[in-house]
Structure 1
Amino acid sequence: MSNKQSFNVCFCFQRKFRLWMAEPPEDIKNLFDLYAENGTMTIDGLQKFLIEFQGESSATKEDAHAIFNNLKHLNIFQRKDLDLDAFFRYLLGDLNPPLSSKVHHDMNSPLAHYFLFTGHNSYLKGNQLSSNSSVRPIINALQQGVRVIELDLWPSSKKNDVKVRHGRTLTSSVDLVKCLRAIKDNAFVASEYPVVITFEDHLPSNLQAIVATMLTETFGDMLYSPHSESLTEFPSPASLKRKILISTKPPKYPESQKPRDQSGSTDHKESEQDDEEDEDKDEENAIPEYKQLIAIHAGKPKRGLDKWHIDPNKVRRLSLSEQQLENETRTRGSDIVRFTQRNLLRVYPKGTRLNSSNYKPMLAWTHGAQMVAFNMQGHGKHLWIMEGMFRANGGCGYVKKPEFLLASPNNEVFDPNASLPVKKTLKVKVYMGDGWRLDFHRTHFDLCSPPDFYVRVGIEGVPRDKTKMLKTEPIEDQWVPVWNKEFTFPLRVPELAVLRVEVNEYDTPARHDFGGQTCLPIRELRTGIRAVPLHSERGQKYRSVRLLMRFELTNEV
């Protein structure tokens, strides 16, 4: 090895080694001194820390003992009690997450009382116009916790066969039976709560019979069949564990009129809600064995009635494009909220999103929409917010709606644009970050050139809570950057607010390399000092990259 090569290797090693020994922030040192005795922290001291500082009021000595045992199993320490280094590594490790991993919402209310993690065109691998259809996106979505899968059903060129494809486009097709089998095999990997399959149905009656047979043979007892044609109330997620539900609106054309699936035409979904036929007329053409498998009926009310009409004897699902929802909320916001107290509202991306981009989900959530359908193969901040919302409730894919979006005794209806008082104040302190060196093959940073990281923090929520992203200063040439920066956010509707966190490397004023992101539902945040895992632009969780942050929530009203 030449002298120059030796120098480069040695210099790179020295830079890495020098930065490996991160000093605990001053707050951590002070906390350790507060709860330690004679330089170490006992199980009793750790329990006291969990209760008094971390806000874990029910923490027991057994909980603290379990943390000790896990730290020893991870070879973080082998002594009797914790020293400062072990305490610091505990705070920055997997044993100290910002959210609970357990399902803790009431799961015994009707489906209409929950937000459901919902996919759009769940079979597409890429764009909406020319990408391939496959079972792989369906599997990925289910393994991520998505609970609503959308399949578009079209007649195949083969007799008595059904394909899944984005109709009237250049996308390829995939066999329906393959999609159904993929759903069966992966439906309950991430969550035991029900999976809803929404069909965009373009089939004549003879093919509906074939689909009915496919469904019953594939799912068997997993398939939920309602006891009556029209439910007066949806069942609860708890009562539907490990069940598959079908939701569709059969097409209105007679059996003899076979639909054409031609390339180049616009998506039918944009005009779906302008259909003048009522749902009863539509379902006249559905054969009985297919119709009886529909657990959630979709469509408009009978002719002449307003789309937000509430039938006391029937519940149903209505679908709107993002643009239609935006238009409706301008004048009918309170009607939409009332409708979603008992019925389901599905919102889907407008047809011009050919690149599989997504829209702002908060408008739909604040009006009670349960199924906010997203292109899960996309990426970007709107999808990050969606993923963040559904990290709540143990990531089971069902999040209980706040009480103010449900029926109230005095019939008051929530208005997201109202001038509300500040309810809570969130203080967020960003201490430091670590892990990029261990994940360098995923984050693509040069090991011999430590980045200049900075953090951006902001709120997504109702209009009065939404903030611009605030940021720390860049820390130059550090694999373990320390910022010690605090941010304060007044919140009027914390129940619907999501905290956005993003790390970038400052390169030049025109170029900032991505370093990680996460979104966290604020009503689920565990207070105190927490290790916050970061994710890639595509939403994959990094193995080691995380921030050490402190969260403090105080009541204002």
Structure 2
Amino acid sequence: MAAPPIKDPKLGVPKTDKPELQAGGGTASAAQKARTVDELNDTLTKYLKTLYKEVETKYKLETREGLAQWFADEQQAPASDAEKLKDGSFSQFATYFTSGAGAVMKPAEPVDESWPISNYYISSSHNTYLTGNQLASAASVDAYKNVLLRGCRCVEVDVWDGEPPSSSSSENEAEETATSSVKDKSKKEKKSLRKRLELRFGRKSSPPPGEKKEVSPLPQPAGEQRIAPWRSNSSTRAEPRVLHGYTLTKEMTFRDVCATIRDYAFVASNLPLIVSLEVHTSPEQQEIMVELMTEYWKGMLVDLPLDPAQTSEDIKLPTLKELKNKILVKVKRVSHKPADPVAKPTTLQAPVTLSPTQTNQSAQSDVTSDSSDTAAEKPPAPKPKVIEALSKLGVYFGGYHYKGLNVPEANIPTHVFSLSEKTLMEVHETNPAELFKHNKNFFMRAYPKGLRVTSSNLNPAIFWRQGVQIVALNWQRWDGGMMQNEAMFAGTSGWVLKPEGYRNTSQGTTPKDAVPHHNLDLSIEFLAGQNIPLPPEEDDPMDFKPFVKVELHVEKFQEGEGGAIPGGGASNKGDFKKKTRTQRTTNPDFGREIVEFKGVTRVTEELTFVR
């Protein structure tokens, strides 16, 4: 009997039941339920009474002056919050701490929407369609629904040529008979590799034929009229599909992705959504892509500059507030030379291409342009030229192949360079000042290197500190990278204004002199915990051993000086780590244990994180 697939506890298929309460994208921190506690157990109540006595002795909470002083000195909250404690009694004190007002995380400040869009960090997803690892997981529209409801504002779509719809005609049956021996041989050749990949990574199976998938009702965008679904007869033509090319990942139709984006794009946020396209389709299939996007996103898609008189070379980036409820396409921008007219295929024609799911020799690596780092890795397969109609949809996000920071296209206001984490680290080490200068004015996107087949994530804070606006992460993996993403975008609508020194008006030349750096002494006191859920593999609370680990994500010395970052920035673990003593219960009593960090240097408020 074959061994069961190795389960990765940090990978998970997208949640479809209240995904907005799943952390990672920032929306969970804005939910009122996430900021409140229904009740306190006896241990926590005991500590709260002790704290109340200490505060009451020092500040005299039963007086208006004492309450105001306590809020100003220790809570750093407005004096108006004192009204929430009313008479300053213990019962009101306890109510305050179980309410959202007493949460340790302050609510996010409203974003200033008046800046050009390159002055913001954007909550972004990598290979959004995947539900697990990069080699053998399923592609699902639920993945798009999940990240959009969690606050993601930049999704990725890899598009490949579709295959013609199946037919029961005798002509097709004869053709299938003639080619069956070839297909059988191909299946045998692939079987060994496929089995190994499926056993190593697992794979979500399709529902049995005839079984309908349960679909949850669509949430309605607040104050918006939903656009009526568009229908077209797609049963007589090949249509583009979405998958991770040259792997065992399961596919879905581009049409379904467009429909899901239409339905969920502006439910959690009314700020613009960027759709980053990786185009591997033929010219004919690209025309269908344009047709589908134009029709499904009608009224939302930005297909012309806000000022139609501007050209792609001199167009200026609009402000964030000018693009509310708009979908922006990021696609390769190319110059087009006149070509001989080519007859369009009939509705039954399909491009003759090698299916990206029919190759076994290349299933070991990611070969899209967004997943190759060095010549030592498998080179990307040649991609078809992007047609003009599709390229023109990249109004404010025209993708260009990165050749350097001093090439002519690097000064086009609407260009965007997409670089793997490894390439970006090399640019940082060789030309940090130019990298920082570029990212103050123009867009850059960072994505995980192709060797991260388990969907692990890069360390986003390193790239944010270089001014990179779009740091794409694998949202299906819960790791340090996604925890930092939650910290950056907690309680926001997915766009966060950069620190002042990182904006296009700043005279700063490097991160070192663009923002103030400080030393930090941090002390955290742990009281107790309650009702911690047991992991799925545990059923006895006495076998459960919880502790709290604290990590600080701070700029390294080499990073600030433009040198080589140790490990290439590949790890998303903090540099300063401490933890509490281990308990043996689901209701741990930490006994007011204190975790301290003293003399931490190179701290910047907006770009340093406590995890």
TM-score, with structure 1 as normaliser: 0.72
Q: What corresponds to 2:57 in structure 1?
A: 33
| Contact 1:115-1:401 at 8 Å conserved across structures | yes
2:266 to 188, 211, 217: 188
CA contact (8 A) 2:159 2:279 kept: yes
Equivalent in the alignment of 1:167: 245
| Paired residue type of 1:454 | F
1:242 has 2:336 as partner:
no
- 1:543 aligned residue: none
Is residue 2:148 matched to residue 1:127? no
Q: Which amino acid aligns with 2:247?
A: T
C-alpha distance after superposition, 1:304-360 (max 9, x if no partner): 875665655533110111111122211011111111111111111111111111112
Cα distance change, pair 44–204 in 1 and its aligned pair in 2 (3 A):
farther
* Cross-structure match for 2:153: 147
The alpha-carbon distance between structure 1 residues 198 and 401, as it changes in their structure 2 partners (threshold 3 A), is same
Which residue is equivalent to 1:456? 549
Q: Which residue of 2 aligns with 1:425?
A: 520
What is the aligned partner in structure 1 of residue 37 from structure 2? none
| Distance (whole Å) between structure 2 residues aligned to residue 283 and residue 168 of structure 1 | 16
1:298 aligns with 2:399: yes
Partner of 1:9: none
Contact (CA 8 Å) 2:371, 2:449: kept in 1 or not?
A: no
CA, structure 1 residues 271+481, in 2 after alignment: closer, same or farther (shift >3 Å)? closer
Cα 1:163–1:42 change in 2 (3 A) is farther
The letter for the 1-side match of 2:368 is H
Cα 1:269–1:173, aligned 2, differ >3 Å: closer, same or farther? same
Residue 12 (structure 2) aligns with: none
Distance in 2 (CA, whole Å) between partners of 1:23 and 1:140 is 38
Alignment of 1:207-226 (within 5 A): 207-225=285-303, 226=305
Partners in 1 of 2:399 and 2:332 — Cα distance?
A: 5
Which residue does the alignment assign to 2:603? 493
Whole-Å Cα distance in 1 between the matches of residues 323 and 151 of structure 2? 16
Cα distance in 1 for residues equivalent to 2:131 and 2:100: 32
Contact 1:211 1:290 in 2 (8 A): no
CA distance in 2, matches of 1:101, 1:395: 9
The answer to whether the 8 Å contact 2:547/2:583 transfers is yes
TM superposition shift of 1:441: 5.8
Letter of the structure 2 residue corresponding to residue 295 of structure 1: Y
3-state secondary structure, aligned to 2:436: helix
Measure the CA separation in 2 of the matches of 1:233 and 1:273: 31
Q: 1:19 to 1:428 in 2, by over 3 A?
A: closer
SS state at 1:131 partner: coil
Q: CA deviation at 1:475?
A: 5.0
1:389 aligns with 2:488: yes
* Residues in 1 aligned to 2:546 and 2:238: alpha-carbon distance in whole angstroms: 58
Q: Which moved more, 1:358-367 or 1:449-458?
A: 449-458
Q: How big is the shift at 1:383?
A: 2.0
Please state how far the C-alpha of 1:155 moved relative to its aligned partner.
1.0
* Pair 1:471–1:258, CA change in 2 (3 A): same
For residues 237 and 99 of structure 1, do their structure 2 counterparts lie closer, same or farther at Cα, with a shift above 3 Å needed? farther
Q: Which residue of 1 aligns with 2:497?
A: 400
Contact 2:422 2:449 in 1 (8 A): yes
Q: Which amino acid aligns with 2:73?
A: E
Amino acid at match of 2:325: R
Counterpart-to-counterpart distance in 2, 1:44 and 1:444 = 52
SS in 1 for 2:249: coil
In structure 2, the CA distance between the partners of 1:426 and 1:173, relative to structure 1 (3 Å rule), is same
Partner of 1:286 in structure 2? 387
Alpha carbons 1:456, 1:472 under 8 Å: kept: yes
1:410 and 1:397 mapped to 2: Cα distance?
Answer: 27
Q: Contact 1:475/1:483 (CA < 8 Å) preserved in 2?
A: no
Q: Select the residue among 167, 170, 177 that pairs with 2:255.
A: 177
What is the distance in 1 between the residues matched to 2:49 and 2:594? 12
Residues 1:180 and 1:429: Cα distance change in structure 2 (over 3 Å): same
Alpha-carbon distance in 2 for matches of 1:105, 1:491: 28
Q: Tell me the SS of whatever aligns to 2:455.
A: coil
Per the TM alignment, residue 174 of structure 1 is displaced from its structure 2 partner at its CA by 0.9
CA distance in 1, matches of 2:371, 2:145: 29
| Worse-superposed segment, 244-253 or 171-180 | 244-253
The residue type paired with residue 496 of structure 2 is V
The gaps in structure 1 that reach 5 residues or longer are 1-15, 69-79, 276-281, 501-518, 520-557
Q: CA deviation at 1:386?
A: 2.1
CA contact (8 A) 1:385 1:498 kept: no
> CA separation in 2, counterparts of 1:273 and 1:449?
47
Moved more, 441-450 or 91-100: 441-450
Work out whether 1:336 is the aligned partner of 2:336: no
Partner of 2:354: 260
| Amino acid aligned to 1:297 | G
Q: Per-residue deviation at 1:424? A: 4.5
Q: 1:49 aligned to 54, 59, 70, which one?
A: 70
AA partner of residue 123 (structure 2): F
Question: Corresponding residue for 1:269?
Answer: 369
Q: Structure 1 residues 313-322 or 90-99, which shifts more? A: 90-99
Answer yes or no: is the 8 Å Cα contact 1:321–1:350 preserved in 2: yes
Unaligned runs of 5+ in 2: 1-39, 165-236, 344-350, 376-382, 561-573
Whole-Å Cα distance in 2 between the matches of residues 434 and 112 of structure 1? 42
Equivalent-residue separation in structure 2 for 1:398 and 1:271 (angstroms): 25
Q: Against the structure 1 CA distance between its residues 309 and 31, is the aligned structure 2 distance closer, same or farther, given a 3 Å change threshold?
A: farther
584, 592, 607: which is aligned to 1:483?
A: 592
Aligned partners of 1:309, 1:487: CA distance in 2, in Å? 50
Query: 2:183 maps to what in 1?
Result: none
Q: Which has the higher contact order (CA 8 A, sep 6+)?
A: 2
- Native 8 Å contact 2:124 2:155 kept in 1: yes
Structure 1 residue 136: Cα displacement: 0.9
Aligned pairs (5 A) from 1:64-75: 64-65=82-83, 67=84
CA contact (8 A) 1:208 1:287 kept: no
Q: Answer yes or no: is the 8 Å Cα contact 1:426–1:488 preserved in 2.
A: yes
The residue that corresponds to 1:345 in the other structure is: 444
Displacement of 1:236 = 2.1
CA distance in 2, matches of 1:248, 1:460: 33
Do 1:233 and 1:342's aligned partners in 2 also have CA atoms closer than 8 Å? Answer: no
Pairwise CA distance, 1:205: 2.4
Structure 1 residues 133-185: Cα deviation after superposition (integer angstroms, max 9, x where no partner): 00111111111111100000111002340111111111111111211221122
Give the conservation status (yes or no) of the 8 Å contact 1:202–1:251: no
Residue equivalent to 1:549: none
Residue 473 of structure 1 and its aligned partner are, at CA, apart by 3.1
Indicate the SS of the match to 1:428. strand
Q: Report the Cα offset of residue 407 of structure 1.
A: 4.2
Equivalent position SS for 1:481:
strand
* Match status 1:95 vs 2:101: yes
